[in-house]
Structure 1
Amino acid sequence: MLTKSTTSAVEGEWALVLRRPSWSMVMIVLVLLVSLWMRLEYISGLDVKPISDMGDYDQRAVKLAEEGTFVTGQEHGATYRAPGYVLFLGGLYDLFGHKYRMVYGVQSLLSVATLFAIYLIGRRLFDSQVALLALLIGALYVPFIGYSGVLLTESLFLALFTYALYAFLCGAQDGKLSWYLLAGALFGLAALTRSVALLLPVIAVIWLMLAAKTVRLPRPTWGRLGLMALVMAAVIAPWTIRNAIEQQQFVLIDTTAGLNLLIGNNDYADGIFTEKIYDLPAFHNAMAGDKSDTERDAIMKDAGQAWILNNPGQFAGLTWQRFQMYLSAHKDWIADPYEWYRIPLYSKPFLARYQWTLMSLGLVGAVLACWRDRQALLPVLIAGYFLGTISIFFVQTRYQLPAMPFIILLAAYVLRYLWTSPRALVPIVAAVIGLSWWLEGLAAQYHVM
């Protein structure tokens, strides 16, 4: 629940937004409304039954709504997945019935809210010009639209963690405790949706030190950061306690890391998911008998870690390969079964070129940030964290999505820099073209195009 001071901070922030020049406000509202219309138009004709992970989330949510339990009675139990998205779906099913389009409609609103969060972060980090450019670039990014109509964590997770970072930024710049408390609550909810968010506050604090050019932050700042961490822990704690009671072992959020680590790191691993995982002795051992989620996760995690320790060179090569695949990948298996062809902007050539151009601008932006602007290091660190972390496991195109709001911010930062520094036009354009060709070559080499 928002405190009075939190509410005042939020109201003050909205007052800043409303004081933007009228043409800018009209542009922002127009982009957001058109973005929402595109999503609603897309989902209005969507009639696809959930499959794969989508079906699992759907079944868990139905059980939660109808029986009030996370217990599945299946080999992958309650702790296998983080609870945030299951709670989200289950709550919607409980309120409105088992209606997919209703969920897609709510996710469309969250997706548009994420676009606005990109604008808000851009304005806080840079200025209103970069923010507006980032909003326009994000509005044209097809996967943001497409995942509004998929029963997966992406729309909810993107909204939670972008607003968490925005609240953190406001706290860091305004010094108000209420922003830090809000950031802690949102970071906690984001982590309960995707456990990869657990380290985001650490990345944000590292950026704060880099921006301040010192590790010795003022004592009041450390106090606010400590309270933010406590709020985040308080949000996560009930689920952790529930897990300990059920599993009789400590499980902070979920038990998927072991399987994902083993999928990406074994004798058959080539960067992507392969069904050869089912032939591995460690997988058979983990799934045999009546083991708990925690026991299965530990067996597969130990096997994955053992392979890494025994094959450090191969692991390093695989990780670099996966990182390159994430930089260049644009082909998403979701696109065909979920009818992305009905999205107005969608075409495979457009999606490929747009992805490669964004990534190229993002890489140039990372260099510019390191060279001339410590403030711009936040999107570099966040995007690098997501792309680096997922490169340890295996390549699934949707896993790059959390990095994209920050790639988009870096792209907008580069474009604004070109406007203010025309002399840089030729070298930066040449760099973007060269990087795009490199990414296209990687995509062809690794079959992710």
Structure 2
Amino acid sequence: MPIPAPLRQLPRRHPLLLILLFGLLLRFAFFIELRQSPFYSTPDLDALEYDNQARDFAAGKLAWTEIPIHGPGYPLFLALLYTLFRGSYTAVYAAQFSLGLLNAYLVYRLGRRFFDRAAALVAAFFMATLWTTLYFEGLLLATTLMLSLDLLALLALDHARRPGRPWSWLLAGILLGLSAITWPLILAFLGALLLMLLFFPPSPLRRPAFAPALVLLLGAALPIAPVTWQNWRAEHDFVLIQKNGGMNLYLGNNPKADGTPNVRPTGEWDQLLLLPQTEAGITRQSQRDRFFLALVLHFARTQPGRFLQLQARKLALLGNAREIRATFDPEFFRRRYRTLSLPLPGFAPLLALGLLGMVRARNPFPSLLFFYLAAYAAAVVLTVVSARYRMPLAPVLALFAGHGLVELARLFRERDWRRLAPALVFLGAVDLAGHWSRPVPKHTNAEEWSHLGNAYYVRRNLYPAELAYRRALEQEPGYSMAMTGLAVISWDQGRRDRALETLRRALLLDPENVPTRYQYAEYLRQQGEWDKALAEYQILLQKWPAQVSAHFFVALTAFEKGDLETARREAEEVLRSRPENAAMLDLLKKIQDHERETSP
């Protein structure tokens, strides 16, 4: 049967539509697989924190009481979807896959502005099919939304530099501010932009371009200022967007660092969180940031050779072909999803072709794109490198990669072997360096298997959960989080002595693991071993004196033991700083009722 003429002409007349349709097909196939995954409706770690904050927002709790670990931009986006679609995860994934296709279209628009139609189409194809973009679109993480905001900001900036469009600077600033409260690293690009406007303004602006710089800064402040104010309201402390910025800087810049976020969510992570308190008695978030910054500066000053070597290592990591884990290992999940296992482009060809495109870029050089790449790359190298942290580079690398591939095709078509040969050698050298230079530390997938077990457990699929935990322990016999998961399953199955023994072994191997100690203390409380439970909670409070949940369980355990004085004291202590804590208010009411009933 002959193919109808309109379909035959589709690739030639509407190539962008064909690219977007192919991207849609990939996302639909991935969505079908994702629905079968236990992670579909059981977010964990960062995704769980985003989800919890979003559900608080959707319930009308917009004023947070503690400075959050993440900016509120993505939780607000999730909250809007939860409000419109009754908390549906399907709506979230559909929205993020739609944003992924929008990002491919926005890259095409930028490609038409800075290069030509052919380069724009190649760049859009990269963005529509890059396997890491699909992977992050299938997670409750801020990555996809951040890319959309960054690309819209780049379009607005390109629009603003043309005569007679001053309000575009304000729009660009607002978009950059929204991106900042979603993922603060964009502030590095904002700083680079301000420097560019003051010292190297694009034509037809004249140096120094004070007015555009001020309007841009004002626009960025509009979304950021309310977040900063709410942080002040929550803890009376000046934190611009989110906490742990200083800790993230220290994570990638200390004598033991390897350039990746290698501290895992076990006792090692809890020790890192406690470091300002144990070393200097510091608990305020802004002081914690300054404490970690001082450690980084001390490291750079006292060991400059090691510090510079570490920065060089991180630069090599930035261009590494392997996707580096942050929370989870993307390549672990790529092996589990057939769609992601397809021969889709990855970061390595994007980087090689992108660098070639920069070298082959003609006048006028797209300085806006270069400033974006340079600022983001510098920010990532100065902190830590991972697949998620370097994702903002992908859209602009795709633009340069599209130009690079078109230039290669032109040289081949013109049989310009003198220029084609060096270009091919350059491509091969960059690709080889990305694959051959593997400074990424080897690690097991015990963490991924353990979190897979958690996801199965939340869905009450205990048998696959136990298998996943045991797979984790096969890879890393002393992994305390997997042991904790097995203990929880044993407890649910009525094997309480076995559960407690497993938790004791986990604490012997990892005594700083806060979740494991909480679990152990809670099971002791449920068994009526109140003195032992209180001793475990006191260990937690010695390290985390401001830990509200530990104070709550001390109060609850004391109440169950009959020690009403201790229970009341703990409850009132928390309510002095957290007067809206519903669980503690309810417990205090029970204590007061019991006191009235037992009073003579």
TM interval, shorter chain, is 0.7 to 0.9
CA distance in 2, matches of 1:22, 1:376: 31
| 101 and 292 in structure 1: CA distance in 2 versus 1, 3 angstrom threshold | farther
**Which one is further off, 201-210 or 401-410?**
201-210
Residue 382 of structure 2: aligned partner: 392
CA distance in 2, matches of 1:132, 1:35: 13
Query: Contact 2:136 / 2:143 at 8 angstroms: preserved in 1?
Result: yes
Match of 1:240 in 2: 228
The question of whether the paired residues in 2 share the 8 Å contact of 1:247 and 1:294 is answered with no
Change in Cα spacing, 1:25 to 1:271, as seen in structure 2 (3 Å) is same
Out of 141, 146, 165, the residue aligned to residue 157 of structure 1 is 146
The C-alpha deviation readout for 1:382-403, integer Å capped at 9, x for no partner, is 2222222111122222111100
Residue 153 to residue 323, structure 1, CA distance change in 2 (3 Å) = same
2:349 aligns with 357
Structure 1: runs of 5+ lacking an equivalent: 1-20
Residue of structure 2 aligned with 1:380, choices 336, 361, 370: 370
> Is 1:304 equivalent to 2:299 in the alignment?
no
1:326 corresponds, among 299, 318, 326, to 318
Correspondence for 1:146: 135
CA–CA separation in structure 2 for the residues paired with 1:289 and 1:43: 48
Aligned to 1:317: 309
Aligned-residue offset at 1:445: 6.6
Aligned to 1:442: 437
Distance 1:51 1:277, change over 3 A: closer
What's 1:81 paired with? Answer: 70
Match of 1:104 in 2: 93
Deviations 1:259-296 (Å, cap 9, x if unpaired)?
Answer: 10121122321222134565569726269979333333
TM-score (norm 2): 0.63
Paired letter, 1:59: N
Distance 1:94 1:178, change over 3 A: same
Whether 1:64 and 2:53 are equivalent positions in the alignment is no
- Residues of 2 paired with 1:292 and 1:234: CA distance? 26
Residues 70 and 78 of structure 1 are in contact (CA less than 8 Å); yes or no, is this contact kept in structure 2?
A: no
Q: 2:251 aligns with which of 246, 255, 263?
A: 263
Contact in 2 for aligned 1:115/1:139 (Cα 8 Å):
yes
**TM-superposed deviation, 1:164:** 0.5
Measured against aligned partners, the alpha-carbon deviations of 1:387-441 in whole angstroms (never above 9, x if no partner) come to 2211112222211110011111111111222334442221101110122111111
Q: Distance in 2 between matches of 1:242 and 1:444?
A: 41
1: CA distance, partners of 2:392 / 2:284: 30
Could you say what the CA RMSD is over the residues aligned between the two structures, in angstroms? 3.1
C-alpha separation in 2, matches of 1:79 and 1:440: 37
Tell me which residue corresponds to 1:16.
none
Q: 1:118 to 1:264 in 2, by over 3 A?
A: same
Return the letter of the residue paired with 2:245. Answer: A
Compute the displacement of 1:308 (Å): 2.6
Deviation at 1:132, TM superposition (A): 1.1
For 1:174 and 1:414, the matched residues in 2 are separated by 30
Question: Contact 2:64–2:234 (CA<8 Å) still a contact in 1?
Answer: no
Greater displacement, 258-267 / 297-306: 297-306
**1:54 aligns to what?**
47
- Structure with bigger helix share is 1
For 1:140 and 1:448, how far apart are their aligned partners in 2? 28
The alignment of Structure 1 onto Structure 2 pairs a total of residues equal to: 418
Contact 1:58/1:151 (<8 A) preserved? yes
Corresponding letter in the other structure for 2:368: L
Q: Which has the larger radius of gyration?
A: 2
What's the CA shift string for 1:15-69, capped at 9, x where partnerless? xxxxxx9966621122113212322331233231212211121122222223514
Please say if 1:416 is aligned against 2:406. Answer: yes
Which consecutive residues of structure 2, in runs of 5 or more, have no partner in the other structure?
A: 1-8, 445-600
Identity of aligned residues (%): 27
Query: Which residue number in structure 1 is paired with residue 467 of structure 2?
Result: none
Q: Which residue of 2 aligns with 1:14?
A: none
For residues 87-115 of structure 1, what are the alpha-carbon distances to aligned partners after superposition, in whole Å with 9 as ceiling and x for unaligned? 11222222222322221111111111111
The letter of the residue matching 2:312 is: W
Asked if 1:431 is matched to 2:430, the reply is: no
AA aligned opposite 2:370: V
Q: Give the distance between the partners of 2:383 and 2:24, measured in 1 at CA.
A: 34
Deviation by residue 1:134-187 (Cα, 9 ceiling, x = unmatched): 112222211111111101110100000111111110121354123223212211
Partners in 2 of 1:263 and 1:277 — Cα distance? Answer: 10
Query: Are the aligned partners of 1:188 and 1:235 in contact in 2 as well (CA < 8 Å)?
Result: yes
